[in-house]
Structure 1
Amino acid sequence: MVLFLLGIIVILLIANLIQYRVKKTIERDMEYITAKLNEIVDQHSSENVLVVTDYTALKSLLIAINRLLGNWQHTFVQYTKKERSIKKMLANVSHDLKTPLTVVLGYIEMMQRDEMLSDKERSRMLAKIHHKVIEIIKLMNTFFDLAKLEAGDKRIPLTPVSMNEVCKRNMLQFYDLIQEKGLEAIVDIDDESLFTLGNEEVFDRVLHNLLSNAIRYGSDGGVIGLHLSKDEQQIFLKVWDQGQGIEEKDQARVFERLFTLDEARNKSFQGSGLGLTITKRLVEEMGGSITLESVPYEKTIFTITFNKQ
């Protein structure tokens, strides 16, 4: 009987000793986890918390912690990236607003100072002021439109649209500017009437942006083009130029919000970096897609794809 009791006491002592060691091990691991988490957060590190353990509960806790860390690190990277982009955008927008506002202010001050201005000269200055104010309004509307698209507040009514007519109309609108720049325009539009589900006003805006970019950034190539074709199920609209082009490293970013073509093509131009972002959103709102291919000084092609009606 005495030996039995002694055996029980020994077992209890061993059990208590094991529990104590387990407790101390877990406490040590928890202290390490706490310290490591604080270090990762303070230093914005991309590390994970690694602990060698046989305890299932602790393993599950570590998996959960590292998943949270992964999400936090991804969010932090995105936040940092967006913060940099917003600063860049504000600088670009400030430039875009400052330039026409400076011109407006200059003309107003000139009109105030010079009481001897002729009616003709005054009318010319007022026309310049009007033009610059329209520029400012267009820039602000661009920001509002993107905000509406991102919030899902801008609904686009869709009806069958003749892509042949849209392409012809938009090329004609740029005819004078193309001639003024001394560019060759190559237009290749399929003879068959091609219809897709879309919105004429939105298509005009998309094509206006792509054609104006081709003229603005690709004029050093001497030629721009528009190509409309089809296969059995889809319609393909290509706007291209043979200018400076876009480096491969930048091609994946051209549709990003706030990325400007100035960074990738012509440094002499400045922009807010929203044109192609809005173009992509508008195309997608109509159920289409837009892609880019570019080989500098050979060909830069923006391709819009839609389903045939």
Structure 2
Amino acid sequence: MIYGVLIGVILILAGWVYRLHAANRRRSQQLGHIHSKLDRILADDSGTKLLLFTEDPELRLLLTDINRVLELNQRILAERAETEQSIRRMLSNISHDLKTPLTVVLGYLEAMELDPGMPEAERMELMRKVHRKANEVLEMIRQFFDLAKLEAGDQPVPLTRVQMNEVCRRNMLAFYEVLTGKGFEVNLSIPEEPIYAYANENALDRILDNLISNAIRYGGDGNVIGLTLRVEENQVCIDVWDRGKGIGEIHQSRVFERMYTLEDSRNKAYQGSGLGLTITKRLAQQMGGDVRLYSRPSEKTIFTVGLRPFRY
């Protein structure tokens, strides 16, 4: 009787050991399959998921985590590729935008050097053009450095309570002569009641200068420019708008990229560095806000700056 019980126990233990060994062997095979499959995915950079049919709950968790890491890796690779493409495009545009005015400057200087008998009035006119072009190059370089400092976090933007009504009026008034000279109709909507935001006044001045300048440069066809100050839920919003040719849908998601310019901006009438809107967005983000765009070509284009309201 006792021998029978012992034999039964031994058989049960042997069966259990066999099943455990088989399970371990199956798991080893599955881990080997995971290793080889993962190795191929990484080597091919295919972006495919790791698939394995198994009832092992721990392996399922492992596969889920591995696929999450693969997705993260693909996002990082895509972002890196996009960044590299953006840098190449930026360098190409920088080269173009610096080369053009410098070539003009060299042409003017060469003309003066080759013509010693040039009338003084003509010489002075060329010198004024050289000075203007040199200032364009300096302004472009300044914007490159400003953007680099903003993105590196080396340009602090201290925040305080800012009375937005006066900031908006002052910045629009700064363009009074330009707007009247070009025959623009100006539409201001600024409440009498003071509106306060948590912001930096110098950064706001630069943001509004960029947006109003853009509206004048690109919205001239509509001959109307507007600025609206309003409170929207948990934001203080400034809308700078125009009724010009607008921005097509395919460009709207990219206008805030470094050095991204519309084709028209390569024409003299629309010349720009392609950095103004990027700097505008970075400054708004430094203040805890953002800039968004709405555009329906030839009807209305609105750049909206959203900032945190100042709460006592």
User: After superposition, where does 1:1-309 map in structure 2 within 5 Å?
Assistant: 14=15, 17-19=18-20, 21-229=22-230, 235-248=236-249, 250-255=251-256, 257-258=257-258, 260-262=260-262, 268=267, 269=270, 271-306=272-307, 307=309
**Within 2, Cα distance between the matches of 1:188 and 1:30?**
67
**CA–CA distance in structure 1, aligned partners of residues 110 and 266 of structure 2:** 32
Q: Post-superposition shift, 1:78?
A: 1.0
Q: Give the whole-Å Cα distance in 2 for the aligned partners of 1:228 and 1:4.
A: 90
Q: Distance in 2 between matches of 1:198 and 1:64?
A: 42
Structure 1 CA distance for aligned equivalents of residues 13 and 161 of structure 2: 84
User: Which structure 1 residue ranges, 5 or more long, are not aligned?
Assistant: none
Report if aligned partners of 1:253, 1:259 keep a CA contact under 8 Å in 2: no
Contact 1:226/1:239, CA 8 A, preserved across alignment = yes
Query: How far did 1:75 drift?
Result: 0.6
Give the direction of change, closer, same or farther, for the CA distance of 1:10–1:157 in structure 2 (3 Å limit): closer
The residue identity in structure 2 corresponding to 1:81 is E
Q: What TM-score do the two structures reach when normalised by structure 2?
A: 0.82
Q: Which amino acid aligns with 1:204?
A: D
CA 1:136 to 1:266, structure 2 compared with 1: closer, same or farther past 3 Å?
closer
Equivalent residue of 2:220, what SS? Answer: helix
One-letter identity of the residue aligned with 2:110 = E
Instruction: Measure how far apart 1:192 and its partner are.
Output: 4.2
For each residue in 1:56-83, what CA deviation from the matched residue of structure 2 results, as whole angstroms up to 9, or x when unmatched?
4433332332222121111111111111
State how far apart, in whole Å, the 2-side matches of 1:105 and 1:13 are: 93
Q: Shift of the alpha carbon at 1:141? A: 1.9
Q: Deviations over 1:75-99 (max 9, x none)?
A: 1111111112222222222221111
Q: Give me the TM-score of the superposition, normalised by structure 1.
A: 0.83
User: Where in structure 2 are there 5+ consecutive unaligned residues?
Assistant: none
Q: Shift in Å at residue 243 of structure 1?
A: 1.6
Q: Deviations over 1:187-207 (max 9, x none)?
A: 333344545443333222111
RMSD: 3.2
Q: How many angstroms apart in 2 are the aligned matches of 1:107 and 1:244?
A: 34
Aligned to 2:241, the other structure's residue is in SS state strand
Rounded Cα–Cα distance in structure 1 between residues aligned with 2:47 and 2:170: 53
Contact 1:291-1:303 at 8 Å conserved across structures: yes
Tell me, in whole angstroms, the C-alpha distance in 1 between the residues paired with 2:138 and 2:116: 29
